[in-house]
Amino acid sequence: MGINYLYPPFEIMRNQDRCITCRVCERQCANLVHHYDEDKKRMTADESLCVNCHRCVSLCPTRALKIVKTDHIFKENANWKTEVIEDIYRQAGTGGVLLASMGTPKDYPVYWDKMLINASQVTNPSIDPLREPMETRTYLGRKSSKISRDAEGRIIPNSSGQLKLDIPIMFSAMSYGSISYNVHKSLAMAASELGTFYNTGEGGLHKDFYHYGKNTIVQVASGRFGVHPEYLNAGAAIEIKMGQGAKPGIGGHLPGSKIGEDISATRMIPLHADAISPAPHHDIYSIEDLRQLVYALKEATRYTKPVIVKVAAVHNISAIASGIARSGADIIAIDGFRGGTGAAPARIRDNVGIPIELALASVDQRLRQEGIRGNVSLVVGGSIRSSSDVIKAIALGADAIYIATSALIALGCHLCRTCHSGKCNWGIATQNPELVKRLNPEVGSNHLVNLLTAWNHEIKEMMGGMGINSIEALRGNRLMLRGIGLNETELKILGIAHAGQ
């Protein structure tokens, strides 16, 4: 056995004066970090197994535990940083691709934090959202370019299927298999109560959740897992997944160890067989091919449901979006490179794609310049962390936003970034029945409802402060934003002025 060059990244600090050897930490850790030493009559830990998920810390009844980052270091080198050296050790030892989960932790610019929101004071008075009506409802789908009336002057409805959102926030795609049954149930229940939508992801729709159909977006991905006529007609909209922000240009892989009976039936694949999504759709190699699938799905659902096309934010995203807008799609969903994932090659997650803020601004401007902005709605995701991020996204041109990581954090996720291991101690990214039951769907749903209710209140407060009383008036209103610490190129792409101008 060779030398292990890797020092554990985390150290478990146990206050022996507080520890009562209740062994809760031992029972709660799926990574087998904690164990009781019979000889020493005390708890000990194998720190090499710790992923810093905080389960033991949160449930310790005497607060005897805390986890700290190790201060063990390599000799400092600006080029050969610790994480670079350790990754080389890992690959030299295994010969494998490094897998990672969630969004990139790299210190790239976060443009949401470099934009400031305007406020009204004298000439354009603010609005008190507690006393005056504020409209946070929005509609997604192709908008009619003209109003038609009959002989008696009544408006003739001529819009295609629309999604009605009581709040401009939806739960993004997370497949059954990558996340647990109880997470999907929490999302479905919360979407139903909030008057918004959750997305099945590419893993099909469990039979128990069909009755949430009016609040469900069903996804069609390259693997076509779980896709059949009943599934397509069960949801309120259909999303074609062409790309994902965390791993643009590649497919997906759910290992056979996660394919139990329920997932096998839902995805319509053999039990314990790996579920591999190809990188491309093998029937789509052009906008014309995409158009065929868009209209095939519309035909299958009798033209009653809007079709979404989801793409990753990449360098030529505005040109891609322009093509999608001409494909017959009703909604374009753009996923930024900070978007989460259950598993992705670390090199792709950390180096491919662009920030959603720049992608959104670029796409909105391109579609407006070409006179086709009304043909589609824009939905964006990829690390939307707060209500202020939502406001800024809408001001840059989004009709609504997707959240996923924020939703998982509300359910208890601690961003330990080991979703691919299947050992999620919070019952989120796992199919282990003993771990899954740790998440109560009723409690989870309540947390999600609380989160978005709080965000909705804050959105109204901020809109009121701007003197705006509706999402419609805020959408694309870049005069409400100012940049700070941005260069001229960044300001030009975002289409905003610098603070002080």
Residue whose pair of structure tokens reads 């940083």 in the numeric block: 81
Which residues contact residue 439 at a Cβ distance below 8 angstroms, ignoring those fewer than 6 apart? 180, 182, 183, 186, 411, 412, 426, 427, 428
Give the DSSP H or E segment for 80: none
CB-CB neighbours of 124 under 10 Å: 12
pTM above 0.75, yes or no: yes
Task: With beta carbons less than 8 A apart as the criterion, state whether 306 and 141 touch.
Answer: yes
| pLDDT tens-digit series, residues 331-373 | 999 999 999 888 889 999 999 999 999 999 999 999 999 999 9
Q: Where are the alpha helices (DSSP H) in 214-336?
A: 229-234, 261-267, 287-300, 317-325
**Strands, E assignment, 278-411:** 307-312, 331-335, 344-345, 377-381, 400-403
Instruction: Work out the pLDDT band at 158, boundaries 50, 70, 90.
Output: low
CB–CB of 404/340 below 8 Å?
A: yes
Label residue 219 by pLDDT band (50, 70, 90).
Answer: very high
Write phi, then psi, for 37 (nearest 5 degrees). -90, 110
Kindly state the DSSP code that residue 402 receives in the 8-state scheme: E
Using CB atoms within 10 Å of the CB of residue 501, give its burial: 0 to 12 exposed, 13 to 18 middle, 19+ buried: exposed
Q: Which are the contacts of 357, defined by CB distance < 8 A and separation ≥ 6?
A: 111, 112, 115, 336, 392, 393, 396, 494
Segment 369-386 shows an average pLDDT of: 95
**Other C-beta atoms lying within 10 Å of the C-beta of residue 363:** 29
Least confident of 21-30, 138-147, 316-325, 439-448: 138-147
Write out pLDDT tens, residues 30-60: 999 999 999 999 999 999 999 999 999 999 9
pLDDT at 157 over 80: no
**Under the phi-then-psi rule, with left for phi > 0, alpha for psi from -120 to 50, and beta for the rest, what region is 358?**
alpha
Does the pLDDT at position 24 exceed 90?
Answer: yes
Looking at the predicted structure, is the pLDDT value of residue 17 above 60? yes
95-111: pLDDT as tens digits: 999 998 998 999 999 99
Mean pLDDT along residues 135-152 = 85
Choose between 398 and 251: higher pLDDT: 398
